[in-house]
Amino acid sequence: MSTNVETPSNSMDTVKWLISIALLLGAVVGNYMYADLSVLVRAVGVVVAVAAALGLLATTEKGRTFIAFAKESRIEVRKVVWPTRQETTHTTFIVMLATVVMALILWGLDGILFRIVGFLTGLEI
């Protein structure tokens, strides 16, 4: 049996999420309000606000979990044995050939069924 106990970090996490959302909204609103400023200045302001929001979110429990997941995913991607160019080309050719064959089969079935239904109903187009 597990009991979920709310810890102070969870309440602080809520505050951090609210501050991050406020930073992101401030970046969007500020970008529109200061449209008369240089695009470079506005872009730097938005990048700084987004970086601050992401930095703050990285300190939350979900943020730490996400960062750990991203690190583990990167390690797993390094373990993947990627196909060679030749294997990729051959597989692509096989998929394209199978697609064309299935399209022809379905086109033929559609034509046959169209003729059968037209014959049975007497409504030939």
Domain that holds residue 99: 83-124
Who has greater pLDDT, 6 or 31? 31
Residue 22 shares a structural domain with residue 62: yes
H helix intervals, the chain:
8-33, 39-57, 61-79, 85-121
Say if 39 falls within a structural domain: yes
Say if 4 falls within a structural domain: no
Residue 95 shares a structural domain with residue 120: yes
* Average pLDDT score over residue span 51-57: 94
Say if 63 falls within a structural domain: yes
- pTM here is 0.56
Residue 119 has pLDDT above 60, yes or no: yes
- The lowest-confidence range among 9-18, 24-33, 67-76 is 9-18
Instruction: Name the DSSP letter for residue 96.
Output: H
Residue 22 shares a structural domain with residue 66: yes
What confidence category does residue 97 fall into, taking pLDDT thresholds of 50, 70 and 90? very high
Domain count, the chain: 2
Residue 57 shares a structural domain with residue 20: yes
pLDDT at position 4 is 59
- The lowest-confidence range among 10-14, 96-100, 115-119 is 10-14
Say if 5 falls within a structural domain: no
Compute the distance between CA of residue 120 and CA of residue 2 in angstroms, rounded to an integer: 67
Phi, psi of 33 (to 5 degrees): -70, -35
Residue 101 shares a structural domain with residue 59: no
